[in-house]
């Protein structure tokens, strides 16, 4: 039982650390032990190592290690085209090599056919997610990306210029420091696919999560049932549920279960790993489905989290914009037409003083909008321009070139037909500065 306990503890430890790495930064966990552990591992420990290296070698060791790690993990180099996808590929393939020799001879035709599909799909979607264009904003595609979404005057304002690319930033885009490019509807940079998740490959990424979750759940449950059947054949009174094992106390139940694991230790270890990591994969999938439901991205959800902090302090204000079709657009910094079925209805700003924005007496108001400024205290009081209802949000993700309206169709009519308002709770990633006034 010592070996089995060691395997279980190692697998459980790996699963827990993956959970901390993936979810430790979520605002929903900000004041929990998960967030504290995440900060300790990813902030305080590296800061301590850096401080020590500064005293010993003036930072040369950590600088060299950082450059080498960035090269191995992110850069394209002759050894492997993309290390993280290779790591993910090996994680799948090695697990299958350990699992299948024991499990395959015991499977019927239906399970074999289902297993082939379940095994193949993650590789297909891994390739598509890793090697497809996430929506790179190039000089050639800049005009098309500018017309993908209108500016919402809350998270994205007209006239913002990428400091690196020296081009106007399309609404919902972000410059990735790893990929060294601006990405349309940027969600996040994923190290497991060594690629950004953006407008043109989010659907492949979601399908990768779904297929991986299905594989781990199916493989874990199938492996568990095979080991349970073998253990029951050896010990007829044993059942997978301890309380159903007649005439056995828990110690005897563990002894029988240990025999079942040790008789096929490779398959048993992979089964435990699959069962423990499957909830993490499904949790990540659920998180991204929730983002689609909310009409937002990982990057934008962190921006909304920052706005909530400003609202809590009383520094956020909004006022209405002129109705769609009546607002004069500055065509130097925003597109005349977008494929999106809605236009911004309000402008959201923050002030340093906590007082509404003011303009010089008798002078022209430099900020767009009409009416008086009003304080905003809750996110649900701010309209998310990019949420047009769950099914249309899904269409936007899975058919990134779909146009929600014709060039001749007025935005106001489209707003009435398509716009669905929902209250938001958001979660997120790396923020950009709020618009100050």
**208 and 120 in contact (C-beta within 8 Å)?**
no
- One-character DSSP codes across 105-137: GG--HHHHHHHHHHHHHHHHHHHHHHHS---B-
Q: Is 182 a catalytic residue?
A: no
- Distance, in Å, from the CA atom of 411 to the CA atom of 205, rounded to the nearest integer, reads 31
**Catalytic-role residue among 165, 176, 179, 190:** 190
Q: What is the C-alpha to C-alpha distance for residues 109 and 101, in angstroms, rounded to an integer?
A: 16
Burial class (CB in 10 A: 0-12, 13-18, 19+), 422: middle
Q: Which residues have a Cβ under 8 Å from the Cβ of 213 and sit 6 or more positions away?
A: 278, 281, 282, 285
Measured CA to CA, the distance from residue 384 to residue 161 in angstroms comes to 22
Q: What is the DSSP string of 358-385?
A: ---TTSPP-S--EEEEEE---GGGS--T
Do residues 123 and 351 make contact, with C-beta atoms less than 8 angstroms apart? no
Residue 55 near residue 48, CB atoms below 8 Å:
no
Cβ atoms of 400 and 201 closer than 8 Å: no
**Which long-range contacts does 173-178 make (Cβ < 8 Å, 24+ apart)?**
173/137, 173/145, 174/299, 174/432, 178/70, 178/74
Q: List the catalytic residues.
A: 190
């Amino acid at each position: 039982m010592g070996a089995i306990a060691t395997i279980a503890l190692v697998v459980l430890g790996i699963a827990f650390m993956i959970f901390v790495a993936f979810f430790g930064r979520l605002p929903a966990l900000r004041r929990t032990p998960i967030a504290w552990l995440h900060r300790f591992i990813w902030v305080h420990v590296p800061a301590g190592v850096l401080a020590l290296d500064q005293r010993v070698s003036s930072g040369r060791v950590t600088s060299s290690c950082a450059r080498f790690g960035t090269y191995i993990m992110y850069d394209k180099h002759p050894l492997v085209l993309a290390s993280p996808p290779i790591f993910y590929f090996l994680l799948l393939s090695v697990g299958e090599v350990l699992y299948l020799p024991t499990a395959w001879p015991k499977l019927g035709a239906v399970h074999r056919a289902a297993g082939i599909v379940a095994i193949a799909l993650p590789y297909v979607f891994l390739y598509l997610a890793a090697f497809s264009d996430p929506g790179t904003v190039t000089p050639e595609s800049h005009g098309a990306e500018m017309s993908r979404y209108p500016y919402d005057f809350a998270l994205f304002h007209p006239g913002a210029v990428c400091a690196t690319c020296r081009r106007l930033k399309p609404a919902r885009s972000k410059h990735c420091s790893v990929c060294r490019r601006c990405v349309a509807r940027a969600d996040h940079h994923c190290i497991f696919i060594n690629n950004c998740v953006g407008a043109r490959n989010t659907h492949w990424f979601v399908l990768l999560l779904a297929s991986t979750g299905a594989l781990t759940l199916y493989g874990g449950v199938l492996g568990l049932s095979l080991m349970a059947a073998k253990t029951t054949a050896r010990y007829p009174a044993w059942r997978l549920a301890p309380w159903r094992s007649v005439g056995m106390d828990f110690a005897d139940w563990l002894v029988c279960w240990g025999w079942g694991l040790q008789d096929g230790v490779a398959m048993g270890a992979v089964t435990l790993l699959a069962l423990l990591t499957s909830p993490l994969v499904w949790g990540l999938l659920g998180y991204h489905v929730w983002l689609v439901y909310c009409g937002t991205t990982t990057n934008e959800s962190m921006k909304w989290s920052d706005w909530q902090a400003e609202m809590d302090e009383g520094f956020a204000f909004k006022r209405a914009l002129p109705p769609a079709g009546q607002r004069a657009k500055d065509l130097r910094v925003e597109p005349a037409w977008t494929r999106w079925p809605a236009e911004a209805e309000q402008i959201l700003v923050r002030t340093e003083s906590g007082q509404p924005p003011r303009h010089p007496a008798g002078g022209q108001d430099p900020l767009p909008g009409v009416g008086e400024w009003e304080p905003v205290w809750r996110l649900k009081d701010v309209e998310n321009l990019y949420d047009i209802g769950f099914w249309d949000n899904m269409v936007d993700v899975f058919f990134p070139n779909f146009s929600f309206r014709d060039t001749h169709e007025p935005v106001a009519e489209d707003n009435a037909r398509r716009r669905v308002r929902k209250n938001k709770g958001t979660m997120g990633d790396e923020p950009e500065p709020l618009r100050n006034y």
